[in-house]
Amino acid sequence: MPLITMKTPLVEIDGDEMTRVLWALVKEKLILPHVDLKTEYYDLGIMNRDATDDNVSAESARAILRLGVGVKCATITSNTARKEEYGLKALHPSPNATIRAILDGTVFRKPIAVSRIRASVSTWKKPIVIGRHAYGDVYKAAEMEIEGPGRVELVYTRVDGVENRITVADFEGPGVVQGMHNFDGSIRSFARSCFLYALEEKLPVWFAAKDTISKTYDGRFKRIFAEVYENEFKAKCGEAGISYFYTLIDDAVARVIKGEGGFLWACKNYDGDVMSDMIASASGSLAMMTSVLVSPLGAFEYEAAHGTVQQHYYRWQKGEKTSTNPVALIFAWTGALAKRAELDGTEALAKFARRLEKATLDTIEAGKMTGDLAKLAGQPTALDSWEFVDTIAGRL
């Protein structure tokens, strides 16, 4: 069979440790035998990030903006232990944070459903997708310890010098204070990314905040979300049969647990951080969660939600064939290839992406899986990563 051709390259971002090992394996066994793969390659492995003073991270993000689609392997976020381990020149920011800052995106996390792995929540029939606003609030807050009696105020000094000041609290003894912010532009692009994603995936959108208590702050989120929906998406959502629903965050949590899933849950930054881990573990496994960064500038970056699976890597280095699950990495590739196909109008590539996903899921349904899933499915035997990928390749 001739190889499937690509029109436009996609941005390929390589990474670290066990996921770097699996990355090469997935390409070699599942993609290159079928696709005449065109990629613009960036090595975000920790050594190359260090060698390029981390310039390669920003370069890869700009390449995604230029080409529209990227696929990324998991990468080490450096800390002092990693600095020592790899003999790094310096500590660099998380590549994901660098890429997000350039693409101005929202992160969508979606569990990959297989019938053998049941969600812990028995009413869930369809995946719940989390859309997490990736800027501001408590993640960019200013905090201060208060040592004793005194007044804490919030002061806004306009560029012309006019001051607006309100009292936060009169302290009678020690305590603590925090000031947080967000920008209308960021909230608006968060809302836009959510509606774009929902139209793409044909999912209803839920957004929740706490505007009964936080009338100004959360109230502004609620208002901007509603404005973006009314002014830019209501007609398109109507045509696609997609609804928009706002409720209070506590009501949303209760409904999520009682509901059957099958919607996009748009979350403020902190809610998304907490709820995506809850959804991932209640749905099955971190190794079965995909992640896509959707930029309001029209670019898409696909990755697995998990990290570099460090402990498995150390065992692999000692010669062990680990049973690390490559499913989320495979789906990062299929997501990116399908998006490339959609943007380029290349039907054969789109079909290939769907077939690879089906071959992967059918392999698991047939009882062939890695150890993490075997444990959840109550199955005594498991394949190592190489056997698992070979089985998918055979089926494909």
Q: Where along the sequence are the contacts to Mg ion (CB under 5 A)?
A: 273
Interaction between residue 307 and ligand NAP (CB under 6 A):
yes
Q: How far is the CB of 369 from ligand NAP (least distance, A)?
A: 11
Strand 175-179 relative to strand 69-72, pairing: unpaired
Total residues interacting with ligand NAP, rule: CB under 6 A: 17
Interaction between residue 310 and ligand NAP (CB under 6 A):
yes
Q: How far is the CB of 75 from ligand NAP (least distance, A)?
A: 4
286 binds, among ligand NAP, Mg ion, none (CB under 5 to 8 A by kind): ligand NAP
Assess contact for 4 and 35: CB atoms under 8 A.
yes
Interaction between residue 311 and ligand NAP (CB under 6 A):
yes
Q: Which of 11, 196, 264, 309 binds ligand NAP (CB under 6 A)?
A: 309
Residues from 81 through 100 that contact ligand NAP (CB under 6 A): 96
Q: Give the pair of three-digit tokens for residue 318.
A: 């000692």
Which amino acid, 324?
T
What's the CA gap between 85 and 74, in Å, rounded?
18
DSSP string spanning 198-254? HHHHT--EEEEE-TTTSTTHHHHHHHHHHHHIIIIIHHHHHHHT--EEEEEHHHHHH
Q: How far is the CB of 1 from ligand NAP (least distance, A)?
A: 30
Nearer to Mg ion, 60 or 269 (CB): 269
Q: How far is the CB of 297 from ligand NAP (least distance, A)?
A: 21
The terminus-to-terminus CA distance of the chain in angstroms comes to 13
Residue nearest to ligand NAP (CB): 307
Residues from 324 through 343 that contact ligand NAP (CB under 6 A): 324-325
What's the CA gap between 65 and 49, in Å, rounded?
20
Backbone Cα Rg of the chain: 23
Longest Cα separation, the chain: 79
Nearer to Mg ion, 208 or 280 (CB): 280
Q: How far is the CB of 94 from ligand NAP (least distance, A)?
A: 7
Close Cβ partners of 342 (under 8 Å, ≥ 6 residues apart): 350
Q: What angle do CA 237, 104, 106 make, to 5 degrees?
A: 50
284 CB-side CA count, 13 A: 28
Interaction between residue 286 and ligand NAP (CB under 6 A):
yes
Q: Which of 372, 374, 382, 391 binds ligand NAP (CB under 6 A)?
A: 372
Q: How far is the CB of 273 from Mg ion (least distance, A)?
A: 4
Interaction between residue 308 and ligand NAP (CB under 6 A):
yes
Q: How far is the CB of 282 from ligand NAP (least distance, A)?
A: 16
Chain positions contacting ligand NAP, by CB under 6 A: 74-77, 96, 286-287, 303, 306-311, 324-325, 372
